Structure 1
């Protein structure tokens, strides 16, 4: 419990983080198991003592020569394999999103040419048509081979063919160039009339198809983004379970011999009960003059129970005829009491979080979030664009509302400004000292923590047929 006690020492100045009272208990039995011990303490803490419980430590390890080690290793491997399968799917989906974004950007550029071609501005319209004609020449007409406009202009001497096609926007333009202006002859005109008609049809049909595909791929992009989030939620349980099955916590422990069939467990429970200041004042546990006093922070009576189990693994036959593991060995328990306020508990949890198991697979869990964050601007551009336009129109309507009664009633509406957020405690020095009333409340929490610890220790011993203090036990 060295790490936990160190975290408590860095979370409170009261008693320098040392426990208010301490008890210890150890017993060895060939049929002793940790599971009933743990659940007895958990149920008593939650039920009889009325405390909220929290599991802080959950470590185990087995010697390499034990059957328990082999079984846990198989489960761990299975979880890792399933997790990496989903991780592979997650990576593939992210690649699909990237490809979709590139396609949508190309579609958007192409659709911008169609929009410009319909513009009322002559220069913008001309630029749009020239861009579309160039695309048609390069991608559609080029498939004719030697009959393509590019090939005929370069190889067959039709030098004016390409320029005339780029200038003319309809059949009348071609007739003008062939008649009054004399820029093209009849032969060139006979080639350009069907080509220009084909281009105009292509312009109409291709725009419709491109817009359809643009909408379809936007919908598909939304589906893929949601799939990434779904796959990230799928992978988390596998990786979390795999990390929890990883053996840890007993490095270089002399009791763990490779060839022996030994298993070791470490569990720590934290129980806390809030001091209801208002109810305690009504019960005359505090002076009646404090009835209207409001505590700025809550105080808690806390107990910390650590269990260490060292057992040998054997086999037993179940009622079905199957074999299962049977554990027997020694359990060491330590009971400590503390009195902490909510800021100290918050800091204590932060200190514990630094060593939390989730940190070891954070990089996997955050892959989806980080990937989407890098692509956020592009995704928002395509998926939120229509929603933003609708919101802007709604806001404009609200701003245009000139009804004097609406404006008057708006003065009495509650403000949308966010309330000032509570400052987070990062270091022990940021926690203020207890004032006079808080000192009294903490002392009351101290008394409650000591009493609760003595009760759970005393009742556990008596309920398991162990020698205990007579009468009121350890409470007095």
Structure 2
């Protein structure tokens, strides 16, 4: 009988591909073919059974999608796993404390860089070729100088002299003057000129020195931000294994009420589920006359979506843990119930199934670990990359301008012919792929999957047949290799007539 976890997976598959809907229970899945195997031996360990099947289905690229366990509270196995989980939690939380400290530092650096960027934008405007921007930059910097530097003179500041001591033209003259020499050409009395000249000289000296220091500090802050980003990524990588291990060592609460789990008994219940898929080679099958000959044409099979034979194998173990002498490890002997499901999915259904599986309750705990470790960095990545890439782009632009200037070919200098093309970085490729997948997923969620073509329906029939034969082969070979009775004709029950291969 299928476990609760497998039923949940079946419900996801029903939403993805309605063709496997159970006619009686609409939410549950009825696979194309299914079978069960029970192996009970308290003297033999359960690990060989699992690894035998895992190795047998290697051609289907198996993935482990469920891995749960629960131990009886009175057993030594329960106590040891609980102690390990506590240790993992402590280590993970300690590293997360370091992560939080670095995060605070990164946030402060980003705020400082934003302020530097605003201030430096006035200097950039001052050096602009546009007269309007140049004047705006100069006026903004004069205002900053008066508000932050000159104001420290107290009563002697220009604001105080203008509004309290009767020098009403001093402030306006300071804002209008282009340099120290221009003061002599201004219509001002001598007292105002004597005050204005030293202030202008001081301002222009401050203008030169402040820009130099600001740009130097801006570059240092970016270097520090790079170092802090690397530290943050390092701590995040360190924390993730501990938090993931702690979550994996946490017992499945819903299985604590299982009748086989008696408090004082030495019992452990394990739940493992494997999913495997193998793409159908349409051209090869058509060449071998297992599909119509026109399917071998490139114009036919290239237009089709890939169809996958899929198998789902669920292991329900009820074991008696025994400690290996003088070692901290346990081995498990007991009963294993193995369920085999065979079905087929096209590439869109497989993509949607895996995305839904990631967001399901089955992976909720591990997704929480991912959020704790990755989301903290992801939220700041845009700001961090903005400043780091800005500096990098400025350097690349300067290098390109140097190459263009050094080029002897005038057409190359004008249009950039012959210059190497910039390859996208790994981060950019990953971001582009994630964006495409998100758009594809949104399209499926809102509009559903595209309808299957005649060719795809026919290939799906073959894929289902292959998956069923493979599942039965595992079942049959395992029983025979362990001296158990099996079906007399392994493929008699899986014989398909040509009529059955026709699409519905």
Change (3 A) 1:403 1:454: same
Cα deviation, residue 323, structure 1: 5.2
- Listed as ranges, the matches of 1:125-204 within 5 Å are 125=138, 128-129=141-142, 131-132=144-145, 135-138=148-151, 149=156, 181=189, 183=191, 204=208
* Stretch moving more, 418-427 or 242-251: 418-427
Contact 1:218 1:383 in 2 (8 A): no
Paired positions, count: 439
> Structure 1 residues 426 and 261 mapped into 2: Cα distance closer, same or farther (>3 Å)?
farther
Q: Which residue of 2 aligns with 1:279?
A: 284
Alpha-carbon offset, residue 258 of structure 1: 2.5
> How big is the shift at 1:283?
1.0
CA distance in 1, matches of 2:317, 2:11: 22
The Cα shift of 1:276 comes to 0.9
In the alignment, which of 467, 473, 484 is matched to residue 466 of structure 1? 484
Which of 292, 296, 306 pairs up with 1:291?
A: 296
Change (3 A) 1:281 1:30: same
- Listed one character per residue, the Cα deviations across residues 419-465 of structure 1 (whole Å, up to 9, x for unaligned) are 99794463698345544433332232232222212211111011112
1:399-429 CA distance string (max 9 Å, x none): xx9959x99x99xxxxxxx999794463698
Matched, 1:314 2:318: no
Q: Which moved more, 1:5-14 or 1:300-309?
A: 5-14
Q: Report how far residue 36 of structure 1 moved.
A: 1.1
Give the match for residue 346 of structure 2. 341
User: Relative to 1, partners in 2 of residues 1:268 and 1:123: Cα closer, same or farther, differing over 3 Å?
Assistant: closer
SS in 2 for 1:10: helix
Q: What secondary structure sits across from 2:317 in the alignment?
A: strand
Q: Contact 1:117–1:126 at 8 Å: present in 2 too?
A: no
Give the conservation status (yes or no) of the 8 Å contact 2:37–2:337. yes
Cα distance in 1 for partners of 2:398, 2:206 equals: 35
Structure 2 residue aligned with 1:85: 94
Q: CA deviation at 1:216?
A: 0.9
Match of 2:272 among 267, 273, 286: 267
- Specify the SS of the correspondent of 1:239: helix
Tell whether the 8 Å contact from 2:319 to 2:333 is kept in structure 1 after alignment: yes
- Confirm or deny that 1:384 pairs with 2:397: no
1:37 to partner: Cα distance: 0.8
Task: Give matches, 1:379-458, under 5 Å.
Answer: 380=386, 383-384=389-390, 387=393, 391=397, 423-424=440-441, 426=444, 430-432=448-450, 434-458=452-476
Matched, 1:228 2:246: no
Q: State the match for 2:424 in structure 1.
A: none
Cα drift, residue 27 of structure 1: 3.0
Structure 1 pair 126–85 and aligned structure 2 pair: CA distance change class (3 A):
same
Find the residue that maps to 1:439 and give its secondary structure: helix
Distance 2:446 2:17 in 1: 7
In 2, Cα distance between equivalents of 1:449 and 1:126 = 76
Q: Deviations over 1:347-388 (max 9, x none)?
A: 332342223423333431343245316x63x86267516626
- TM-score, reference length from structure 2: 0.71
Q: Aligned partners of 1:117 and 1:252: how far apart in 2?
A: 74
Offset at residue 202 of structure 1 (A): 5.8
1:315 and 1:230 map into 2 onto residues whose CA distance is 36
The counterpart of 1:38, out of the listed 34, 45, 50, is 50
| Structure 2: gaps spanning 5 or more residues | 1-5, 22-28, 419-431, 495-504
Correspondence for 1:413: none
CA distance in 2, matches of 1:461, 1:107: 73
In 1, are the aligned partners of 2:318 and 2:335 still within 8 Å (CA)? yes
Whether 1:3 and 2:43 are equivalent positions in the alignment is: no
The answer (yes or no) to whether the contact 1:114–1:132 under 8 Å persists in 2 is: no
Distance 1:336 1:134, change over 3 A: closer
* Unaligned segments of structure 1, at least 5 residues: 143-147, 411-417
Structure 1 residue 389, shift from structure 2 partner: 8.6
Q: Distance in 1 between matches of 2:87 and 2:67?
A: 21
Q: Distance in 1 between matches of 2:56 and 2:135?
A: 84
Q: 1:72–1:245: 8 Å Cα contact kept in structure 2? A: yes
CA distance in 2, matches of 1:244, 1:437: 43
| Conserved 8 A contact 1:86-1:234 | yes
Indicate how the Cα distance of structure 1 residues 98 and 176 shifts in structure 2: closer, same or farther if over 3 A, else same: same
Q: Alpha-carbon deviations, 1:299-356, whole Å to 9, x = none?
A: 2222222111111223331xxx445423222111122222333333333323422234
Among residues 7, 27, 41, which one is paired with 2:39 in the alignment? 27
The alignment status of 1:102 with 2:106, answered yes or no, reads no
Q: SS at the partner of 2:278?
A: strand
CA contact (8 A) 1:115 1:128 kept: no
